Structure 1
Amino acid sequence: MADETSTDINPAPQANGEDTSPAIGLISQYVKDLSFENPSAPAAFQWQSAPQLDVQFNIAAEGVGEGLFEVTLKIDVTSKADEGTAFVIELQYAGLFGVRNVPDDQLQPFFLAEAPRILFPFARRVVADAVRDGGFPPLLLEPIDFHGLFAQQVQAQAEGQAEMANPVGEA
């Protein structure tokens, strides 16, 4: 009689049919807050000097229910010329993500790198449209490497912890 060992690579289904595999899905995305200010209109449309742009990004994630998380990409842009401030735009663009069976140590990389990567093209369009609707040429923000930024942040934190663990001298 031959040895009957199973080589089935698919795990046996759960007794109740519940899917226990990890999953994250985008449920909805939306403009949470949008502000466009044109404080120097109509004079700003006649300025000859080239504007200087200051672009700031921030990412936040918070639980909003059982297995639900909101990730918010905040984008602040200020355009200044020699004559003054041409425009200021503040956008909070958010996505609602459903999470199931994902280990806690995998949530932060997703929320701070992958989720913003998913949301950014849509937020970029909102910024471009708002600036254009404000009377200026559309502002097309450069793509951002959220995965690279997250990796740099993790490395900087690890180096900071290593420095704290290895004191330089004695007090």
Structure 2
Amino acid sequence: MADQDASPVFQLQRMYLKDMSLEQPNSPQILLEQQQPQVDIQLAMGAEGIADGVFEVSVTATVTTKVGERVLFLVEAKQAGIFEIRNLPEDQVQGILRVVCPQMIYPYLRAIVSDICTRAGFPPILLTEVNFQAMYEAQGAEGAAN
């Protein structure tokens, strides 16, 4: 029985939309513009321990769409999950928190962003695929260089 207690554990406890906002600060006038809008997409990730072996991991997308200098619409969505991770070496835990968990969360975030844009009366914004492994490795290289 003692061997089972030391078995590695990784499981998703819960997935949820943590935060969502939509702003159309220049509506309705800007909706009459014929110019093609510029779209800027920013992604952020977060991970924090909330109990022993239990972590909240989140991925946030901020989509700013402008016509000229004026904002057409701004969407910010944060999708999160609660994960149980136990009996693994710390370097593996960090990899799971920064690669595996965001990969599980991201498809839900993509769907939410696309859906809210459509419900707001705009064409859907389709977030591109993200290589979280490459991002994690790049952050590790930056940390080693500093």
Aligned mates of 1:46, 1:21 — CA distance in 2: 60
Spell out the pairing of 1:1-171 with structure 2 (5 A cutoff): 14=1, 18-82=4-68, 84-160=70-146
Percent identity of paired positions between Structure 1 and Structure 2 = 36
Find the residue that maps to 2:4 and give its secondary structure.
Answer: coil
| Structure of greater relative contact order (alpha carbons < 8 Å, 6+ residues apart) | 2
Superposed CA offset, 1:129-168 (max 9, x none): 11111110011111111111111111122222xxxxxxxx
Gaps (5+ residues) in structure 1? 1-13, 161-171
Amino acid at match of 1:64: I
TM-score under structure 1 normalisation? 0.80
Aligned mates of 2:107, 2:86 — CA distance in 1: 25
Equivalent position of 1:4 in the other structure = none
Gaps (5+ residues) in structure 2? none
Find the residue that maps to 1:55 and give its secondary structure.
Answer: strand
Aligned mates of 1:134, 1:63 — CA distance in 2: 35
* Structure whose CA Rg is larger: 1
Find the residue that maps to 1:40 and give its secondary structure.
Answer: coil
Deviation of the 1:82 alpha carbon: 1.6
Aligned mates of 1:139, 1:44 — CA distance in 2: 18
Deviation of the 1:66 alpha carbon: 2.3
Count of aligned pairs between the two proteins? 146
Find the residue that maps to 1:115 and give its secondary structure.
Answer: helix
RMSD over aligned CA atoms reads: 1.5
